[in-house]
Amino acid sequence: MIVVIDYNIGNVKSVCNAFRHIGCEVELSCEPQAVKDADGIVLPGVAAFGYAVRALGSLAELVKEVTLSGKPLLGICVGYQMLFDKSSEYGQHNGLGLVRGNVVPIPPGRVIPHMGWNLVKLPEDMDLFAGLGSEKHFYFAHSFYAEVADSQARVAFTDYGFDLPASVQKANIYGTQFHPEKSGETGLKILENFAQICRQKNPT
Amino acid sequence: MLTKRIIPCLDVKDNRVVKGVNFLNLRDAGDPVELGARYSDSGADELVFLDITATIRSRKTIVELVEKVAENVFIPFTVGGGIQTVEQIDELLRSGAEKVSVNTAAVGNPNLLAEAAQRFGNQCIVLAIDARRSKERPGKWQVCIKAGSEPTNIDVVEWAAKGEKLGVGEILLTSMDADGTKAGYDNELNKAVTDAVNIPVIASGGAGTLEHLYDAIVDGGADAVLMASITHFGNYTIKQIKEYLASRGIAVNL
């Protein structure tokens, strides 16, 4: 069972719908026991960073704890940004600190937010992209991005006038700045790959 | 490279998709959930659903519709029509919409945009502007509210710039003069707005041919093009649109 963390912010449902569509058992929950029992957890997010961090509240420690003990975690959009140390969106806010790096504004000189479908170069050694070839389009919608500063993290990039990190993988920690649940068939394949990672970690 | 988006728009009235000319003479175009899923499967980049009844009774219907659409559509979609409060925005986002567009209420209470952007993030707040060429001030456009029925004295370009300042992530710019005419987008309007703001602008109103879409992107500077009549009634498929634009050197997600 994959648990999508329900922390009372927008569009958590879309992620659940997408997992159900691919035939994956999924539960939307904020119960600590469900988080502990999950094969994998998903931290979704449509919100401003500070609001999302406050909404996650005391669940943050638990998410960190189970992730550091090896449970696969997938952060999406703001959920992905929250994996990092801190963000400067509408004030200074601390993230989960699971991946080194800071969330900063996309530099001016281009249309912001970065909104729409952009081409991501897919490194062969990142598990989320298995079976997807060398590059694919994904849907982005964000004004801030993570400057990844973690030597243990593998990073996939997209081009937005500079190399913008689109996805990270560090051990059992996965994150996508884009929305796999809203990137059509290609995005659904990413969620399938994450479900597969969870199954491998938790053989029945 | 970020691709230009092709966005079918579904105007919804009494649970049916409808399409009119200059906001009048509505014609039935099908079931919103079915049509949404079909567009999602056929390569549309995004969808917009506008509740054009926008009454208290339709509010509940639109939330149920959003839930059903979200179960079947795995591309982003925006919902708009009669939205007045942060709570309503929250409800629609929770029901599965990626973005919510605000029009009339923002004119009366611009702070709604700032409040919503700070809570939900800029990227999910869309400022919808219905623009009409001003008779009194040639070369200018006036903002119309209440589904286009009520003109204001607000200048469209100034309002778009103010929306950006307040934190909206995108502008959905509809030319009322061009809407449904299939005579081409108002690219002077599109250009005036895209030059004035640094957020994405969706050009809307007037698409009739493939060349019109190209012109809105190249002459109008639009980041995305919205259409209804030409795709609802089968004149063109999304694939045809994208192949055409790609053949003319526009980056699209084919």
Q: What is the mean pLDDT of residues A158-165?
A: 98
- Which residues, including other chains, have CB under 8 Å from residue B92's CB and lie 6 or more apart? B62, B63, B66, B79, B83, B100
Confidence bin at A46 (pLDDT 50/70/90): low
The phi, psi pair for A121, rounded to 5°, reads: -80, 125
Confidence at residue A204, expressed as pLDDT on a 0 to 100 scale: 64
Is the CB of A170 inside 8 Å of chain B's CB atoms?
no
Q: What is the mean pLDDT of residues B12-21?
A: 86
Average pLDDT, chain A: 93
Confidence bin at A10 (pLDDT 50/70/90): low
Helix (H) or strand (E) holding A163: strand A163-170
Between chains, do A48 and B121 touch, taking CB under 8 Å as contact? Answer: yes
Average pLDDT, chain B: 93
- The number of domains in chain A is 1
pLDDT tens, residue by residue, A48-70: 788 788 888 888 999 999 999 99
Of A16, A93, A114, A181, which is the active-site residue?
A: A181
Domain that holds residue A113: 2-201
Selection from B83, B80, B122 nearest residue A51 by Cα: B122
Q: Nearest-CA distance from A26 to chain B in Å? A: 14
Q: Rounded distance, CA A71 to CA A66, Å?
A: 6
Q: Nearest-CA distance from A176 to chain B in Å? A: 16
Known catalytic residue: B179?
A: no
What CATH number is associated with residue A197? 3.40.50.880
Q: Rounded distance, CA A49 to CA B134, Å?
A: 41
Q: Between B71, B99, B170, which is nearest A17 by CB?
A: B71
Known catalytic residue: A114?
A: no
Q: Between B5, B93, B198, which is nearest A46 by CB?
A: B93
pTM: 0.93
Q: Rounded distance, CA B121 to CA A53, Å?
A: 13
Confidence bin at A13 (pLDDT 50/70/90): confident
pLDDT tens, residue by residue, A178-195: 999 999 999 999 999 999
Confidence bin at B56 (pLDDT 50/70/90): low
